[in-house]
Amino acid sequence: MSATLPLTDPLALLRQLYDAAVQRALPLHSMAAHLPAPPKGRTVVLGAGKAGASMAQALEALWPQDAPLEGLVVTRYGHIPPRPAGVAARIEVVEAAHPVPDAAGLAAAERMLALAQTLGPDDLALCLISGGGSALLTLPAEDLTLAEKQRINRALLDSGAHIGEMNTVRKHLSRIKGGRLAQACGAAQVVTLTISDVPGDDPSVIASGPTVPDETTCADALAILQRYRIAVPPAIEAALREGRLETPKPGPAWTNSPVHLIATSQQSLQAAAELARRHGLNAYILSDEVEGESREVGKVHAALARAAARGQGPFTRPCVILSGGETTVTVRPQPEGTPRGRGGRAGEFALGLAQALQGQPGVWALAADTDGIDGVEDNAGAHVSPDTLARAQALGLKLTDHLDRNDAYGFFAALGDLVITGPTHTNVNDFRALLVQ
């Protein structure tokens, strides 16, 4: 690789770092070490998430060809990768909506629960779980319609609640999440392989933990709904108050249900850091657990980058500052008739970063979601350059107006600064890289 690349094309280097992070999170690279031996009976695959299809294909390539393999996996629309040559399809993969669930996700969840209930003590449930599974694997609680579940989900997404809070609610309003899928497998062994998209890599939060026990309670879920002023039907509120929607809790029954993390944000950040060092840069990983309001996190990162550019703080130039995790966006109310802004966490981070950097010379940045989709848009994120604000001003764009409308997509699309990758077929959440010359 060219040692001069960081100086001649900073944005190309940042994109290489992002690609290295995504490559490390692809399931074929790390799944083999965590596979159990084939059982005496059937091996049934149950899976959900944005990486579901690529995980299924990796398993089909790695599982002994003479050992039975069957099952059902649900992934997001458009997230099925091309099938590798010579790898036969043995696992059914279906598609559904994300981040707001739809009828296809409901049908997949019903089928998956029924399939789990056919397993016996000689069988193995091999569960492939990744981020996005909360929406893709939707099976509303009794007395809750799909339409109500969709409304509650939209409200959670707009509220600014962090992922742990959202998934606490989702688990208690579901008949399949929060350990219930594993519970349906009865006496069969349950082995979960998961790709983490949550800060802290807690398996009970990833995809709302359908195959692991849950320590949160109905009271927790109700408190979150009240905190963000999200209404639920009276029957559901009563069921939460009375604890009738409680999830399975930790205990001896789970000793036959190991969980293996096969890809995490920290591993991807390390891969990006290693590539940066090969380019002769100092590389610093702030954290893989960064949370908070996206625009505010952008301002904090800007402060670090400006200090580094001045030769202050703990960073030695030239350097790359990396972070991961999952930030949030609180959608601001708009006047009647005002079009809703477009964009996700990565774009809003980039807006806050650009605003705080104020054209700082020698600082470039890329923020993108590792699944290739920032929220519901067709971009993975956006990048920021020293001339971002000057180019925006020349086009008559006001950054503050776009922040007020949560319209990062419109701002960066006008500048030609969107990062567009298409679906990556994995998901270890936010990736942020700041290059300081």
Q: Peptide bond before 81: cis, by omega within 30 degrees of 0? A: no
pLDDT value for 8: 84
Q: Cα(343)–Cα(406) distance, rounded to whole angstroms?
A: 7
Which residues, including other chains, have CB under 8 Å from residue 247's CB and lie 6 or more apart?
171, 172, 177, 178, 179, 180, 213, 214, 216
334 pLDDT tier (thresholds 50, 70, 90): confident
**Mean pLDDT score, 418-426:** 97
131 pLDDT tier (thresholds 50, 70, 90): very high
For residue 104, with 0-12 CB atoms within 10 Å meaning exposed, 13-18 middle and 19 or more buried, which class applies?
A: middle
339 pLDDT tier (thresholds 50, 70, 90): confident
CATH superfamily of 5-23+265-436: MOFRL domain (3.40.1480.10)
For residue 89, with 0-12 CB atoms within 10 Å meaning exposed, 13-18 middle and 19 or more buried, which class applies?
A: exposed
- Residue 333 confidence (pLDDT) above 60: yes
3 pLDDT tier (thresholds 50, 70, 90): very low
pTM for the full predicted model: 0.92
Which residues, including other chains, have CB under 8 Å from residue 330's CB and lie 6 or more apart?
158, 159, 160, 293
- Residue 364 confidence (pLDDT) above 70: yes
Q: Which tokens belong to 343? A: 């964009």
Residue % of the chain over a pLDDT of 70: 98
**Per-residue pLDDT tens over the stretch 203-230:** 999 999 999 999 999 999 999 999 999 9
377 pLDDT tier (thresholds 50, 70, 90): very high
Q: Do domains 5-23+265-436 and 27-139+174-213+248-263 have the same CATH topology?
A: no
- Residue 185 confidence (pLDDT) above 60: yes
Q: Peptide bond before 99: cis, by omega within 30 degrees of 0? A: yes
**Mean pLDDT value across the chain:** 95
CATH number of 27-139+174-213+248-263: 3.40.50.10180
- Residue 191 confidence (pLDDT) above 50: yes
Q: Which tokens belong to 57? A: 């294909």
pLDDT value for 327: 95
365 pLDDT tier (thresholds 50, 70, 90): very high
pLDDT value for 1: 37
On whether the CB atoms of residues 115 and 46 are closer than 8 A, the answer is yes
**Per-residue pLDDT tens over the stretch 239-253:** 999 999 999 999 998
6 pLDDT tier (thresholds 50, 70, 90): very low
Nearest Cα to Cα of residue 207 among 371, 343, 345, 63: 371
Q: Cα(421)–Cα(252) distance, rounded to whole angstroms?
A: 44
- Residue 4 confidence (pLDDT) above 70: no
**Per-residue pLDDT tens over the stretch 28-38:** 989 999 999 99
**Per-residue pLDDT tens over the stretch 37-78:** 999 999 999 999 999 999 999 999 999 999 999 999 999 999
- Domain segments of the chain: what residues? 5-23+265-436, 27-139+174-213+248-263
7 pLDDT tier (thresholds 50, 70, 90): low
